[in-house]
Amino acid sequence: MTRTTYGDNLVVTDRGGVVENTHEIHAAVTDADGRLLFYVGNPHRITLIRSAAKPMQALAVVETGGADQSSFDSVDLALMCASHSSEERHVQRARQMLVKVGATEDDLRCGGQPSITPQVTEGWWRDGVTPTAVYNCCSGKHAGMLAGAKALGAPLTDYHLHDHPIQQRVKRAVEEVARLPPSEIIWGIDGCNMPAPAYPLISLSHSYALFAKASSDLGRDAATTERERWMGRIYDAMARHPEQVGGDGRFCTMLMEAFEGRLIGKLGADACYAIGVKESEETRRLGARGALGLAVKVGDGNYSILYAVLAHLLEQLRIGSSGEREALKAFHELKMVNSVGVQTGTVNFQYKLHSVL
């Protein structure tokens, strides 16, 4: 018989000391040269990166000239990279982006859905709001795609389909930033109806390190290509407008607010996550060259466990001060309490963070 697996890559929750749930963790920590520095589980796990692809999707859009032609500012850029909470500020901004593009909500090919934040959905129910496409957490990305399609002179209809010129640009941008041949990236369809790439965690981690490096290079006028400059601007947009990338109380927002520009972080659905950290004494201490990337996937798609693991990994790697990481305490020290507030168990980080160097 199969024994219950207790590998070296698990988070285990208990109740009264008895194992309740087990969650498999995979993580890769790399640098801007793509070298693997640390890992948990299988850093080569082929992973559907979902919305962690947004910075690369935004890159494809800005490289068409579409962002400039539509007069998108850095807040718009941040919303293109967002899985926002559909708060009023996000929905309004998405509407404004559509106006700038010269498109309407009818052009969006995503559907309406509940907010990622239950309190926001609760408010809609109270106020009788029916969420339409512009309320979709990916509406900024979709508005951006319309700008890209327009700049390419391609039809706005079907901008979400794999064969559309803007999606072919996305495909190439994802391949090139991941430094992978087309044959090593597999495409599915995302929750918001756009192509969704799958590739190894180590390459996702590398991609985010490249965004962080591009921002540093941009800041000291050392960016040598148009692409690097755009990657730096995308990083800066996310880092400067974290409230657009997630929302009130969301991990992405609180992480980037706490680190004040020193990193970007982005959630992907089903508990995938990527972080890019600018080069500093901290990243050099970890053996990184240029910048540091971190990519994580929880095997069963559990978000609470994902956030706890991210906060725990930042602590293990000593990225940021304890003061900065304090902002993530509620995510890190997951409270296992019942309906009357009694603590019933704990979260145990039983995985091993392997060092490669």
Q: Which residues of this protein are in contact with a copy of itself, per CB under 8 A?
A: 1-5, 7-9, 14-24, 26, 39, 41-46, 48, 109-113, 122, 125-126, 136, 186-193, 196, 198, 270, 299-302, 338-342, 344-345, 354
Q: Which is nearer to a copy of itself, 43 or 320 (CB)?
A: 43
Structure tokens at 138: 């990916």
Q: How far is the CB of 85 from a copy of itself (least distance, A)?
A: 15
Q: How far is the CB of 4 from a copy of itself (least distance, A)?
A: 5
**Measured distance CA(177)–CA(208) in Å, rounded:** 9
Q: Based on C-alpha coordinates, what's the Rg of the chain?
A: 20
- C-alpha distances in angstroms, 258 versus 219, 240, 246, 272? 20, 11, 14, 21
**Measured distance CA(274)–CA(268) in Å, rounded:** 8
End-to-end CA distance of the chain: 38
Neighbours of 223 (CB within 10 A): 20
Q: How far is the CB of 140 from a copy of itself (least distance, A)?
A: 15
8 A C-beta contact, residue 347 and residue 334: yes
Which of 230, 66, 237 minimizes the C-alpha distance to 143?
66
Return the DSSP state at 327: T
Q: How far is the CB of 114 from a copy of itself (least distance, A)?
A: 9
Beta bridge partners of 347: 13
Q: How far is the CB of 48 from a copy of itself (least distance, A)?
A: 5
Work out the angle at residue 156's Cα, subtended by the Cα atoms of residues 142 and 59, and round it to the nearest 5 degrees. 45
Q: Which is nearer to a copy of itself, 15 or 179 (CB)?
A: 15
Question: What long-range pairs does 176-181 form, CB within 8 A, spacing at least 24?
Answer: 177/56, 177/59, 177/207, 177/210, 177/231, 178/56, 178/203, 178/204, 178/206, 178/207, 179/34, 179/203, 179/206
8 A C-beta contact, residue 191 and residue 139: no
Q: How far is the CB of 159 from a copy of itself (least distance, A)?
A: 13
8 A C-beta contact, residue 347 and residue 327: no
Return the DSSP state at 69: H
Q: Which is nearer to a copy of itself, 20 or 33 (CB)?
A: 20
Q: How far is the CB of 198 from a copy of itself (least distance, A)?
A: 4
Q: Which is nearer to a copy of itself, 178 or 212 (CB)?
A: 178
Q: Which is nearer to a copy of itself, 59 or 194 (CB)?
A: 194
Q: Which is nearer to a copy of itself, 18 or 357 (CB)?
A: 18
**Measured distance CA(347)–CA(299) in Å, rounded:** 16
Q: How far is the CB of 95 from a copy of itself (least distance, A)?
A: 18
Q: Which is nearer to a copy of itself, 122 or 248 (CB)?
A: 122
One-letter amino acid for residue 9 of the chain? N
Q: How far is the CB of 54 from a copy of itself (least distance, A)?
A: 16
Residue 196 neighbours by CB under 8 Å, 6+ apart: 48, 49, 50, 53, 187, 188, 189, 190
